[in-house]
Amino acid sequence: MTRPRQLADAPSLTTTVPRQLVHRAALSETLLTGWRRTGDDRFSLSAQWPRAHGLHVSSDWSAYDPLLVVETVRQAGTLITHAEYDVPLDHQFVMREFHVTTRQGALAVDPLPAEPEVELVFTEVQYRGRRPAGARYTAQVRREGKPVATADVAFTVVGGPVYRRLRGGRTPESVNVTPLPDGLAPAAVDRALPTDVVLAPADGTDRWQLRVDTAHPVFFDHPLDHIPGMLLLEAARQAARLLRTDEQTPVAYHALFHRYAELDEPVWIEAKGGHGTDVQVLGTQGESTVFECLVGTAAR
């Protein structure tokens, strides 16, 4: 007679963290699976990367995009700020800096979903009363103990009433989004689908209009009253792909976010070659700089 299967014989069970803790609406876009405190202002988090993704896995399913690392690190900092520093869920996070460098060859897709570990260290935590008003954190990302990426992130936290005052009454429902222009050819920016192209032709060399499609299920996982930082980073990625040959691919992003990018006014993306294989990308809206990003590229 076959004995009943015991719990100890069963494979370990894994689930995602609560999606609200990482500011995601879709479970499919929630990448983290757990966390624990390892010391003063030190934390260890686990994640899972799907073998196929609508945006952050190559079209041939062979490699993860470095922007998947960015999103993982962003989610990690957001989760820890809520779960370990008691920041309420209705508070808004304002990204100031995001520096990430990935290792060549460390982002290959294997026969099973990758399960990276993320080690966070929070520094320069600034308090308003008993709760953080902002912080900087560093991240080390590993797969099976091997280094994948390093990151350095700075952000501020804004309470609900203060955020609403800062936004001057702007809400996802009240803002009129600029018309969506026709995009570049998907192959030119290393994308498979026209809906994933975020750059449109514009007058001038190495200058494009940002395409803001609020129906996009990844960039706009939930309604927003402004253009998300991940969309701006994707614009930097695509601009870098246009300036470099097919043999070069983005592997690092050093981004500074200066102000909110609004939905009801065009954003212009400009790019120029930096030192060596770097590409300098600038995003402007009206007379103001929205963000700037130095994209590091390397041979495929």
pLDDT one-digit tens code per residue, 36-78: 999 999 999 999 999 999 899 998 999 999 999 999 999 999 9
135, 164, 193 — which closes off a domain? 164
Task: Please give the Cα distance from 251 to 69 (Å, whole number).
Answer: 10
Q: Tell me, what CATH number does 97's domain have?
A: 3.10.129.10
pLDDT in tens, 164-219: 898 888 999 999 999 999 999 999 999 999 999 999 999 878 999 999 999 999 99
pLDDT in tens, 238-266: 999 998 766 788 999 999 999 999 999 99
Q: Is residue 214 part of a domain?
A: yes
132, 164, 196 — which closes off a domain? 164
What residue numbers bound the domain in which 29 lies? 13-164
Tell whether 111 and 178 lie within a shared domain: no
Tell whether 184 and 262 lie within a shared domain: yes
Domain count, the chain: 2
Tell whether 146 and 226 lie within a shared domain: no
Q: Does the predicted model carry a pTM greater than 0.85?
A: yes
Residue 5 pLDDT: 42
Residue 3 pLDDT: 41
Q: Is residue 83 part of a domain?
A: yes
**DSSP conformation letters of 119-167:** EEEEEEEEEETTEEEEEEEEEEEEETTEEEEEEEEEEEEE-HHHHHHHT
